[in-house]
């Protein structure tokens, strides 16, 4: 059955990646009104779906394997990261920080990537929550 739906394992991987990102987008973590720090914090705490043995974010984890992934996967991940950065910047801009919202969004997205990768180390939810709360304290002071 899989052979009739997908050309090869790369095609299956790309379909899974698309499905994952579409389901993440439907959650609307960065589009809830009012825009602001609350959405950023929710995104950091609940962005990746952590169920069972799945740790971190499928998209972020895929970035570690770019050397062996099809070009289409690279494009999908890059497009998603650009979209997330725009949404983060919109939320940050709503808070009128003293720093450039795009620069802050870039830093938040890098923090998110690191946090997702750390989840593979089984760092624990308490450690992640502590780091997120510390970052949010810094962000709210901008």
Q: Among 15-24, 47-56, 62-71, which stretch is predicted with the lowest mean pLDDT?
A: 47-56
Assign 7 a pLDDT band (cuts: 50, 70, 90): confident
Tens-place pLDDT, residues 122-135: 767 888 899 999 99
pLDDT > 90 fraction of the chain, expressed in percent and rounded: 62
Question: Domains in the chain: how many in total?
Answer: 1
Q: Among 14-23, 58-67, 102-111, which stretch is predicted with the lowest mean pLDDT?
A: 58-67
pLDDT at 8 over 70: yes
- Would you state the pLDDT for residue 55? 65
Q: What is the CB-side half-sphere exposure of residue 52 using CA atoms within 13 A?
A: 2
CATH number at residue 35: 1.10.357.10
- Would you state the pLDDT for residue 120? 76
Average pLDDT on 70-98 reads 96
* Separation between Cα atoms, residue 32 and residue 54, nearest integer Å: 26
* Separation between Cα atoms, residue 101 and residue 90, nearest integer Å: 8
- CB of 89 within 8 A of CB of 31? no
Average pLDDT, the chain: 89
Owner of token pair 């709360």: 133
What's the N-to-C CA distance of the chain in angstroms?
Answer: 54
- Would you state the pLDDT for residue 131? 94
Q: What is the pTM of this model?
A: 0.88
- CB of 47 within 8 A of CB of 112? yes
Query: What residue numbers bound the domain in which 76 lies?
Result: 2-140
Helices (H), 37-142: 37-46, 58-63, 71-94, 101-119, 125-140
């Amino acid at each position: 059955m899989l052979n009739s739906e997908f050309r090869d394992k790369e095609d299956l991987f790309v379909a899974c990646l698309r499905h994952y990102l579409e389901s993440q987008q439907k959650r609307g973590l960065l589009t809830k009104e009012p825009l602001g720090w609350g959405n950023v914090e929710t995104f950091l705490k609940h962005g990746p779906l952590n169920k069972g043995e799945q740790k971190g974010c499928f998209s972020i984890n895929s970035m570690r394997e770019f050397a062996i992934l099809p070009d289409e996967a690279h494009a999908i991940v890059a497009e998603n990261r650009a979209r997330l950065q725009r949404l983060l910047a919109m939320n940050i801009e709503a808070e009128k920080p003293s720093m450039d919202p795009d620069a802050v969004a870039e830093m938040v997205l890098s923090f998110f990537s690191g946090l997702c990768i750390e989840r593979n180390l089984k760092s624990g939810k308490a450690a992640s929550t502590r780091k997120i709360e510390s970052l949010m304290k810094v962000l709210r002071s901008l």
